[in-house]
Amino acid sequence: MKLDLTPDELLSTTRAVRKRLDLTRPVEREVLEECLQLAQQAPTGGYQQNWHFVVVQDADKRAALAELWKQVAYPYLQRGGGAREGMMLRISEAVVHMAEHLHEVPVHVIPCVEGRFEGKPNFMVASMYASIIPAAWSFMLAARSRGLGGVWTTFHLVHEQEAAEILGIPYDDVTQVALIPVAYTLGTDFKPGKRKPLDSMVHWDHW
């Protein structure tokens, strides 16, 4: 199924989806492959194809990853402390919901890139991360255009080494950059997010 979205609609409505994921509907492998093939068209910093996507459908592995995620998500939410209002309250509720249901989300996608960047100069770190993140975002856009949704998450990276063991990823040689839960969305209508005025963040010719 392809949604009837213009490019601008696709770019403005590919949202962080946590509560509106259909946990009961399987995601076909062919659809994931289409999205990954589109992701392969993204640019890399000359290290073309040092990318890897670990696509996790196995229920036990998803449960183990969800445990790692929760171990970070709950303390993170508590540290926020105090009264939560408006958008922050909505986001924390959504994160709690995700923590409780992550193991049920039918697919976890973990984009990875070859190399480890601890202690490396910014030039190298920026080039390596930017060699996989555009591809991973293309994957999310392609997924959205097919009625799928998800959310970019990094919580599990606090326990990256344990995740590597669960999935057989060679930790010393390969860096995980995110865990993206993927499912069909409940409904396909999403609104653009609220953003700060452009002039508060754009600098023309001078900071």
Number of residues that bind ligand FMN (CB under 6 A): 11
Please state, as a whole number, how many other Cβ atoms lie within 10 Å of the Cβ of residue 164: 19
Token pair in block for residue 39: 């992701």
Query: For residue 52, which of 102, 105, 115 has the smallest C-alpha distance?
Result: 115
Can you tell me which of 51, 53, 155, 184 binds ligand FMN, judged by CB under 6 A? 155
Residue 65's identity, in one-letter code, is: L
Distance CA 157, CA 181 (A): 14
Q: Which is nearer to ligand FMN, 9 or 33 (CB)?
A: 9
For helices 29-39 and 133-145, what crossing angle results, to 10°? 140
80 binds ligand FMN (CB under 6 A): no
Binding letters toward ligand FMN, positions 100-139, x by CB under 6 A: ----------------------------------------
Q: Are 112 and 58 in contact (CB under 8 A)?
A: no
Pick between residue 23 and residue 91 the one whose CB is nearest to ligand FMN. 91
User: Do the beta carbons of residue 166 and residue 20 sit within 8 Å?
Assistant: no
The binder of ligand FMN chosen from 56, 98, 136, 183 (CB under 6 A): 98
In the list 66, 95, 135, 167, the residue contacting ligand FMN (rule: CB under 6 A) is 95
151 interacts with ligand FMN by CB under 6 A: yes
Residue 202's CB is within 10 A of a number of other CB atoms, namely 7
Pick the closer one to ligand FMN by CB: 15 or 52.
Answer: 15
What is the contact surface with ligand FMN in residues (CB under 6 A)?
15-16, 91, 95, 98, 151-155, 193
